[in-house]
Amino acid sequence: MLRQIIHINEEDCNGCGICADACHEGAIDIIDGKAKLMREDFCDGFGDCLPECPTGAITFEEREAPAYDQEAVERAKAEKSAPAQPQGRPFAGCPGSMPMDFTRERRDAAPAQSQAPAAKPVSRLMQWPVQIQLLPVQAPFYDGARLLIAADCTAYAYANFHEDFMKDRVTLIGCPKLDFVDYAEKLTQIIAQNDIKSVTIVRMDVPCCGGLQMAAQNALQASGKFIPWQVVTVNRDGSLVED
C-alpha cells in the first residue's frame, strides 16, 4: 500500500542510537554503526524518531510499504519484556541467572603479607548476574548501591576496569548494538524501586554506545530521583577520553 513512512539517510547518520530509543515500536536498530529501518510494518509513520535525530538523517517519504501491524508490534514487545520474578517465590528461571550477592569483605579478608610480591588481581564483582537483561529489578545487593552501567566492551579495552570502576559498585552491563531491547525501562525500575546512591556510566568512544548512555540518562530522569551520576568514555586503545 502507498503510505507515509520514515526514510533514513545513512550518509548523514552518526549511529548515536537516539532514534532507536525514541521509536516505541522497535522498528529501528543500529547496524554496523548506522540506523536501519528493520521492520517497515513496525513503523507507524508518526515520526517520534524525527525530532530526536541530531543530524537530520531521518525524514518522511510516501512510498509503497506494508501496512503498520499493531498486533505484531505488541507481540514483539511482549517477547522482549521478561516477566518480573515474583517476590517470595523460589527462583524458577535459568540456574545460571540466579541472583547472587558476593561478600567482598570475606574474599578480601586474607591476612596481608609484608614485602610480598605483586598481588594477584582480585575480582571486584559484587553480584550475579551482570547482564542488564538478566538482572532482577529488586534484589538485596541494590540496597545503598552505587551502580556501574557499562558497555560490555569497556572491560576488555580498559586494563584496570575492576579496580577503577567495579570496586564497591553493583555492575550492570549491556550492548545496545547486540541486545535488541530498550534498557531504559528496566533501568528506570531498578533506580526507582531501590536505594541507589550514585550511577557511573562507562561507554566506549563508538557511536553505538550512545544508546546505552541515553538509556541510562533517560532512566535517571524517569525515576524521579536526584542521584549523582557521571559518564566515563573509554578509547578503543584502552585510554580514557579526557574532558
Cα separation, 175 vs 23, in Å, equals 18
pLDDT confidence of residue 90? 53
Question: What is the rounded distance in angstroms from the CA atom of residue 33 to the CA atom of residue 11?
Answer: 11
pLDDT for the residue 25:
85
Buried b / exposed e over 90-112, threshold 16 CB at 10 Å, is eeeeeeebebeeeeeeeeeeeee
**All three cell numbers of 121:** 588481581
Output the pLDDT for position 117.
Answer: 59
Rounded to 5 degrees, φ, ψ at 62 are -110, 120
Which grid cell sits at 162?
575492576
pTM above 0.75, yes or no: no
User: Please, are residues 53 and 19 in contact by the beta-carbon 8 Å criterion?
Assistant: yes
Q: In the prediction, which pLDDT does 104 show?
A: 52
Exposure letters 49-73 (e unless 16+ CB within 10 A, then b): beebbeeebbeeeeeebeebbeeeb
Q: How far apart, in whole angstroms, are the C-alpha atoms of residue 219 and residue 165?
A: 20
Local structure of residue 162 (DSSP, 8 states): I
- How crowded is the C-beta side of 76, counted as CA atoms within 13 Å? 16
- Helix, coil or strand: residue 69: coil
Digitized pLDDT (tens) for each residue of the chain, 243 residues in all: 888 898 999 889 888 888 888 888 888 988 888 889 988 999 988 877 877 788 889 998 888 988 888 888 888 878 776 554 444 445 555 555 567 776 555 445 555 555 555 678 899 999 999 999 899 999 999 999 999 999 999 999 999 999 999 999 999 999 988 887 789 999 999 999 999 999 999 999 988 888 899 999 999 999 999 999 999 999 999 999 986
Angle of the 183-193 helix axis to the 210-222 helix axis, nearest 10: 40
